[in-house]
């Protein structure tokens, strides 16, 4: 018996030693716990994937929190998915949506530390999610259908990890860079993208970054020591003051009070992220070494400290000092800079400004997984030759859906890319870089990765429609229609039919707002609906009939589409769905969408490829 005990003990010891050298297995690993990485991790884990999130700092949220940009831009009326959930949590914390409207740059403003705590609470609620703080992904290698990599810690420790899907959600696309994924950095040539607004020649100029500062009113002199190399001329025209003689942007020289209220946060604090001769700073650190980046960050910090000193000593804001209760850093500044631009991978598709302005010229809209409505916003005033660059100050665009393929590298299996490194043009990045869009793209990446892991397949093999349906199940938008909120029972049907193109939306610019509408309460003529159905069902004959579609007409069209006598089923379904239904009554566009969705279900029965082309177009 003792011999058996020795053998069992030796076997257990051997097993422990072998396991000590084994890799921990996950379904999904996400490099970077920024805005997109955190959303990806939460969504993947909610779909049951064993998920590891690796974040270099001790905070979650990236530009929303760790970079201090706690004033979101865009998607205020497009409140869905984790973006909507995060906003709801902010409102609950501060006591309502009006409590977030403290500064004039945004309707959603909050303290970065609060954003971090709320995101951590959301992450902690997911049992399938593990977070490693103060760590980084290193040496990823794909072998045998899995990623093999190490998670490195500052003290020299590391752990071996294996995973089916890897998501690069780093701020500057560092995982994609390590893997040699082809990418663009800087401005594209107009001839290459078909964007007349782009420069004639490509260059490596990226947007200015900002090292944000968060100040609070101490009610006493809280001014900082004069920074080394301080030059007040750098900031002289940040606002209307006696030092301003020759402003770069004469039409945007505002009062010092308006400038400081730009980033007023709840809690009596001020986000200093001022683009007009303030703390924007030009440096292209995308391809720098770690040591070079460290030096560049130091210079950007010094520039911001110079601006803070200017605010205090030249403009009289001496009681405003660096907040001592925001960032747990030695210098009281954020963990990281606010990067407005990264490398942009060569993806399965490339999203251009033309795809936003004229979405129905191509079919990428059918693959949309996130929405945006912010204009093209480029920051270049700190670049030495800024006046020679295209002037794209809030260039208006319709609101838009971002195609799924921007996250899929053209040549690297098993990898998805999020944050600002997605496959868009330089101009489009001026809009897709904003926090709500980046968060939605992260959620989409997480849904996609979880489905790939569950099916034990490469992300490229996952159905577009399955990813979109997972997002709809999570209350997300696919297309930016303002007609219905995500909570409406008819929302998903409207989104699905919009994504098929059977009924198309309408873009509009109204004042500062960029909008899209399904025109849910309007009627649709027979010619238009036959054209939309005919793109997926060639058996539907075209027509020039301009009469509005009623129940009888729609029933006939669906009979043609599906090649079966379904009038009885159609009218029964319509009567159940629409309380005041009558076959001869004209139907609204939303009613048509709901009935087409319920009776024909084209969204699920006719899949599309990554470009939005139907893969199994009905041949009836």
Per-domain residue ranges for the chain? 24-188+341-473, 209-322, 520-605
Q: Which residue has the tokens 């009038």?
A: 567
| Strand duo 209-210 + 136-143: pairing | unpaired
User: In 3-state terms, what secondary structure has residue 305?
Assistant: helix
How many CA atoms within 13 Å lie on the side-chain side of 63? 26
| Mean pLDDT taken over the chain | 94
> What is the 3-state secondary structure of 464-508?
HHHHHHHHHHCCCCCCCECCCCCCCCCHHHHHHHHHHCCCCCEEE
Could you tell me the pTM of the whole model?
0.95
Q: How far apart are CA 185 and CA 170, in angstroms?
A: 15
E-assigned strands of 45-144? 51-55, 129-133, 136-143
Note the Cα 34 to chain centre separation in Å: 11
Q: How far apart are CA 130 and CA 133, in angstroms?
A: 10
Cα separations (Å) of 130 from 140, 430, 514?
A: 19, 33, 38
Given a cut of 70, is residue 13 above it in pLDDT?
no
pLDDT band, residue 395 (cuts 50/70/90): confident
Q: Which pair of structure tokens corresponds to residue 466?
A: 């399955």
Given a cut of 50, is residue 3 above it in pLDDT?
no
**Burial of 385: CB neighbours in 10 Å, binned 0-12, 13-18, 19+:** exposed
- Torsion angles phi and psi, residue 7, rounded to 5: -60, -45
Q: What is the pLDDT at residue 21?
A: 54
Q: How far apart are CA 305 and CA 501, in angstroms?
A: 51
The helix (H) or strand (E) run that includes residue 509 is strand 506-510
Condensed to tens digits (0 to 9), the pLDDT of residues 182-203 reads 999 999 999 999 999 999 999 9
- Nearest CA-CA partner of 94 in 267, 249, 231, 274: 267
Q: What is the pLDDT at residue 617?
A: 66
Percentage, residues of the chain above pLDDT 70: 95
Q: Which residue has the tokens 């049992």?
A: 127
Given a cut of 60, is residue 17 above it in pLDDT?
no
Given a cut of 60, is residue 97 above it in pLDDT?
yes
DSSP category for residue 190: H
Q: How far apart are CA 151 and CA 335, in angstroms?
A: 20
CATH 3.40.50.300 fits 24-188+341-473, yes or no: no
The helix (H) or strand (E) run that includes residue 264 is strand 264-265
Could you tell me if 57 and 66 are in contact, meaning their C-beta atoms sit under 8 angstroms apart? Answer: yes
Q: What is the pLDDT at residue 449?
A: 98
Q: What is the pLDDT at residue 8?
A: 47
| Strand duo 344-345 + 183-184: pairing | antiparallel
Cα separations (Å) of 150 from 161, 427, 493?
A: 6, 35, 43
Given a cut of 50, is residue 51 above it in pLDDT?
yes
Given a cut of 60, is residue 417 above it in pLDDT?
yes
Q: How far apart are CA 146 and CA 169, in angstroms?
A: 18
The helix (H) or strand (E) run that includes residue 215 is strand 213-217
Q: What is the pLDDT at residue 87?
A: 98
Q: Which pair of structure tokens corresponds to residue 78?
A: 């497009």
Q: What is the pLDDT at residue 358?
A: 95
Condensed to tens digits (0 to 9), the pLDDT of residues 249-304 reads 999 999 999 999 999 999 999 999 999 999 999 999 999 999 999 999 999 999 99
Cα dihedral across residues 453, 458, 459, 462: positive or negative? negative
Q: Which pair of structure tokens corresponds to residue 35?
A: 């805005």
Condensed to tens digits (0 to 9), the pLDDT of residues 144-183 reads 999 999 999 999 999 999 999 999 999 999 999 999 999 9
Q: Which pair of structure tokens corresponds to residue 481?
A: 């229609």
Q: Which pair of structure tokens corresponds to residue 518?
A: 């399904």
Q: What is the pLDDT at residue 420?
A: 98
Least confident piece of the model among 118-127, 317-326, 472-481, 512-521 = 512-521
Neighbours of 296 (CB within 10 A): 17
Condensed to tens digits (0 to 9), the pLDDT of residues 506-564 reads 999 888 789 999 999 999 999 999 999 999 999 999 999 999 999 999 999 999 999 99
Q: What is the pLDDT at residue 1?
A: 38
Average pLDDT over residues 329-356: 98
Cα angle value 610/474/36 (rounded, 5°)? 65
Could you tell me if 51 and 129 are in contact, meaning their C-beta atoms sit under 8 angstroms apart? Answer: yes
Q: Which pair of structure tokens corresponds to residue 210?
A: 């900002």
H helices of 133-250, where? 174-178, 190-193
Neighbours of 596 (CB within 10 A): 25
DSSP 337-371: -B-S---EE-BSS-B-HHHHHSGGGSSGGGGEEEE
Q: How far apart are CA 60 and CA 600, in angstroms?
A: 43
How many CA atoms within 13 Å lie on the side-chain side of 108? 25
Q: What is the pLDDT at residue 387?
A: 84
Cα separations (Å) of 262 from 74, 274, 480?
A: 16, 8, 27
User: No. of H helices and E strands in the chain?
Assistant: 18, 19
How many CA atoms within 13 Å lie on the side-chain side of 432? 34
Q: What is the pLDDT at residue 18?
A: 38
Q: What is the pLDDT at residue 373?
A: 96
Given a cut of 50, is residue 478 above it in pLDDT?
yes
């Amino acid at each position: 018996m003792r011999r058996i005990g020795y053998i069992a003990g030796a076997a257990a010891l051997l097993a422990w030693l072998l396991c000590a050298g084994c890799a921990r297995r996950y379904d999904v690993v996400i490099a970077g716990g920024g805005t997109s990485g955190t959303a990806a991790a939460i969504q993947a884990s909610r779909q049951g994937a064993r998920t590891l999130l690796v974040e270099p700092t001790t905070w979650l949220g990236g530009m929303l929190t760790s970079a201090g940009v706690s004033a979101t831009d865009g998607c205020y009326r497009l409140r869905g998915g984790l973006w909507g959930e995060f906003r709801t949590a902010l409102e609950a914390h501060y006591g309502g949506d009006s409590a977030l409207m403290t500064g004039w740059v945004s309707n959603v403003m909050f303290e970065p530390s609060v954003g971090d705590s709320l995101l951590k609470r959301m992450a902690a609620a997911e049992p399938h999610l593990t977070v490693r703080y103060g760590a980084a992904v290193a040496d990823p290698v794909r072998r045998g259908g899995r990623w093999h990599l190490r998670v490195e810690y500052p003290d020299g420790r590391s752990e071996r990890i294996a995973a089916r899907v890897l998501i690069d959600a780093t701020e500057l696309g560092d995982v994609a860079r390590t893997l040699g994924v082809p990418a663009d950095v800087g401005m594209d040539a107009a001839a290459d993208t078909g964007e007349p607004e782009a420069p004639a020649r490509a260059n490596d100029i990226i947007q200015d970054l900002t090292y944000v500062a968060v100040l609070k009113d101490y009610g006493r002199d809280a001014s900082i020591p004069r920074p080394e190399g301080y030059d007040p001329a750098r900031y002289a025209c940040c606002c209307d003051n006696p030092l301003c003689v020759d402003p770069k942007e004469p039409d945007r020289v505002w009062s010092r009070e308006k400038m400081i209220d730009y980033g007023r946060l709840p809690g009596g604090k001020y986000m200093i992220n001022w683009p007009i001769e303030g703390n924007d700073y030009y440096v292209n650190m995308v391809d720098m070494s770690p040591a070079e980046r460290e030096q560049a960050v130091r210079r950007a910090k010094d520039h911001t400290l110079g601006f803070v000193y200017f605010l205090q000593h030249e403009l009289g804001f001496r009681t405003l000092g660096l907040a001592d209760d925001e960032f747990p850093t030695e210098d009281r500044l954020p963990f990281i800079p606010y990067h407005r631009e990264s490398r942009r991978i060569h993806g399965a598709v490339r999203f251009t400004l033309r795809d936003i302005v004229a979405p129905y010229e191509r079919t990428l809209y059918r693959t949309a997984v996130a929405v945006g409505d912010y204009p093209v916003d480029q920051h270049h005033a700190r670049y030495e030759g800024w006046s020679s660059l295209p002037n794209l100050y809030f260039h208006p665009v319709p609101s838009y859906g971002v195609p799924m393929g921007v996250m899929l590298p053209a040549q690297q299996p098993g990898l998805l890319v999020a944050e600002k490194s997605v496959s868009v043009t330089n101009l489009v990045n001026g809009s897709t870089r904003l926090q709500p869009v980046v968060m939605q793209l992260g959620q989409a990446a997480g849904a996609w990765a979880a489905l790939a892991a569950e099916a034990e397949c490469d992300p490229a093999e996952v159905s577009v429609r399955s990813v979109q349906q997972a997002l709809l199940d999570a209350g997300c938008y696919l297309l930016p229609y303002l007609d219905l909120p995500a909570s409406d029972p008819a929302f998903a049907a409207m989104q699905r039919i919009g994504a098929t193109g059977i009924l198309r939306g309408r873009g509009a610019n109204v004042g500062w707002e960029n909008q899209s509408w399904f025109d849910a309460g309007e009627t649709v003529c027979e010619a238009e609906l036959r054209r939309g159905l005919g793109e997926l069902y060639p058996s539907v004959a075209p027509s020039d009939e301009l009469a509005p579609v009623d129940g009888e007409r729609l029933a006939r069209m669906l009979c043609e589409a599906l090649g079966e006598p379904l009038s009885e089923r159609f009218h029964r379904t319509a009567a159940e769905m629409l309380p005041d239904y009558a076959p001869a009554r004209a139907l609204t566009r939303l009613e048509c969408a709901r009935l087409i969705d319920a009776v024909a279900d084209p969204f699920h029965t006719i899949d599309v490829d990554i470009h939005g082309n139907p893969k199994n177009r009905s041949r009836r």
